[in-house]
């Protein structure tokens, strides 16, 4: 399991096409981090892509968690009818291969034939509005939004199921105790339920964040980086270097190593800080 990691890390020290690579030490990293001499925040530079990636991860995780939690909470109400049916239907997006749905979403965002354009026409018809069909992939904001919509769609069932699972571990008597103590429904949710499911949710959120950070399929298949590579995240950028821009494996591997280090540091940071805090 660790071999690919190690080989990958080693590859990052070489340059050139496969088979004819030569050792360049850390030159790949230097080039990446200095944006190949260009302006640091230009489209396609490491730092720009990094910003996009963080934005991408943050927006997605917040939406996943928000939607997943809300649905999980609603679905866990014992009085709800058709619970099982709703649950099955809502888990469906998770069960469909992600490339299928990614492409389906891309189709829906098609400027001429897409269902979203259909919706816009329908709104125009019903309300007499005159919204133009949107060329989703020609502007950063809309292309990014399309990616997010797709990925949220893909990811919320996981969070919902995790929430449902975590909620089964909240004993009814604790909630009843809070109720007797005079907590309102909202207070019970925020002061009892959420704190109690937090330990179960936290690792899921971490994992979800890691997955999103590396969510290649959606970005590659939906926007494909359009317009002009601006919606690319680090992973899809690495892929481009490896497979479309003359197979610069070393360069791509250096990207991968950077991604790995970034994730490692960000996910370990809270624990390190906690330990430091506790050590005092």
Looking only at residues 170 through 229 of this chain, which bind other proteins when binding is defined by CB under 8 A? Answer: 176, 179-180, 182, 185, 199-200, 202-204, 207, 210-211, 214, 216-217
Q: What φ, ψ does residue 51 adopt, rounded to 5°?
A: -60, -50
Q: Is 49 in the site for other proteins (CB under 8 A)?
A: no
Q: Which of 119, 141, 269, 274 binds other proteins (CB under 8 A)?
A: 119
Q: How far apart are CA 188 and CA 33, in angstroms?
A: 48
Q: How far apart are CA 151 and CA 218, in angstroms?
A: 7
Q: Is 129 in the site for other proteins (CB under 8 A)?
A: no
Q: Which of residues 99-118 bind other proteins (CB under 8 A)?
A: 99-101, 103-105, 107-108, 112-115, 117-118
Residue 264: strand, helix, or coil: helix
Question: What's the closest the beta carbon of residue 141 comes to other proteins, in angstroms?
Answer: 21
Q: Which of residues 65-94 bind other proteins (CB under 8 A)?
A: 67, 70-71, 74-75, 77, 79-81, 86-94
DSSP string covering 194-249? HHHHHHHHHHHHHHHHHHHHT-HHHIIIIITT-STTTT--HHHHHHIIIIISS--H
Binding residues for other proteins, how many (CB under 8 A)?
92
> Buried b / exposed e across 40-79, counting CB within 10 Å, b at 16+?
eeebbbbebbbebbeebbebbbebbbebbbebbbebbeee
Q: Is 24 in the site for other proteins (CB under 8 A)?
A: no
Whole-angstrom CA distances from 181 to 5, 184, 187, 189, 194 are: 54, 9, 11, 14, 17
Q: Is 1 in the site for other proteins (CB under 8 A)?
A: yes
Q: What φ, ψ does residue 99 adopt, rounded to 5°?
A: -70, -30
Question: What's the closest the beta carbon of residue 131 comes to other proteins, in angstroms?
Answer: 13
Q: Which of residues 138-167 bind other proteins (CB under 8 A)?
A: 153, 157, 161-162, 164-166
Stretch that binds other proteins, among 22-30, 31-39, 135-143, 230-238 (CB under 8 A): 230-238
Stretch that binds other proteins, among 31-39, 53-61, 119-127, 135-143 (CB under 8 A): 119-127
Question: What's the closest the beta carbon of residue 83 comes to other proteins, in angstroms?
Answer: 9
Q: Which residue has the tokens 């769609």?
A: 153
Q: Is 59 in the site for other proteins (CB under 8 A)?
A: no
Cβ atoms of 20 and 246 within 8 Å: the answer is no
Q: Which of residues 27-46 bind other proteins (CB under 8 A)?
A: none
Cβ atoms of 245 and 23 within 8 Å: the answer is no
Q: Is 47 in the site for other proteins (CB under 8 A)?
A: no
CB-CB neighbours of 136 under 10 Å: 25
Stretch that binds other proteins, among 29-37, 39-47, 135-143, 249-257 (CB under 8 A): 249-257
Question: What's the closest the beta carbon of residue 15 comes to other proteins, in angstroms?
Answer: 14
Kindly tell me which of 48 and 157 has the beta carbon lying closer to other proteins.
157
């Amino acid at each position: 399991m660790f071999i690919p990691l190690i080989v990958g890390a080693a590859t990052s020290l070489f340059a050139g096409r496969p088979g004819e690579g030569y050792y360049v030490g850390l030159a790949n990293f230097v080039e990446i981090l200095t944006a190949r001499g260009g302006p640091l925040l230009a489209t396609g530079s490491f730092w720009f892509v990094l910003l996009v990636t963080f934005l991408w991860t943050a927006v997605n995780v917040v939406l996943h968690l928000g939607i997943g939690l809300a649905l999980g909470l609603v679905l866990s109400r014992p009085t709800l009818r058709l619970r099982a049916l709703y649950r099955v239907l809502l888990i469906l997006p998770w069960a469909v291969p992600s490339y299928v749905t990614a492409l389906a979403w891309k189709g829906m965002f098609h400027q001429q034939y897409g269902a979203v354009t259909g919706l816009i026409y329908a709104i125009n018809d019903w309300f007499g509005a005159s919204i133009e069909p949107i060329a989703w992939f020609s502007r950063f904001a809309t292309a990014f939004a399309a990616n997010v919509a797709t990925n949220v769609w893909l990811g919320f069932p996981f969070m919902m199921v995790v929430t449902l699972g975590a909620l089964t571990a909240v004993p009814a008597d604790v909630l009843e105790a809070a109720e007797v103590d005079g907590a309102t429904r909202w207070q019970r949710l925020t002061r009892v339920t959420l704190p109690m499911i937090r330990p179960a949710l936290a690792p899921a959120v971490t994992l979800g964040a890691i997955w999103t950070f590396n969510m290649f399929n959606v970005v590659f298949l939906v926007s494909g980086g359009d317009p002009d590579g601006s919606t690319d995240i680090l992973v899809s950028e690495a892929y481009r270097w490896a497979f479309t821009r003359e197979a610069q494996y070393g360069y791509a591997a250096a990207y991968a190593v950077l991604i790995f280090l970034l994730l490692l540091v960000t996910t370990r940071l809270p624990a390190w800080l906690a330990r430091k805090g506790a050590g005092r």
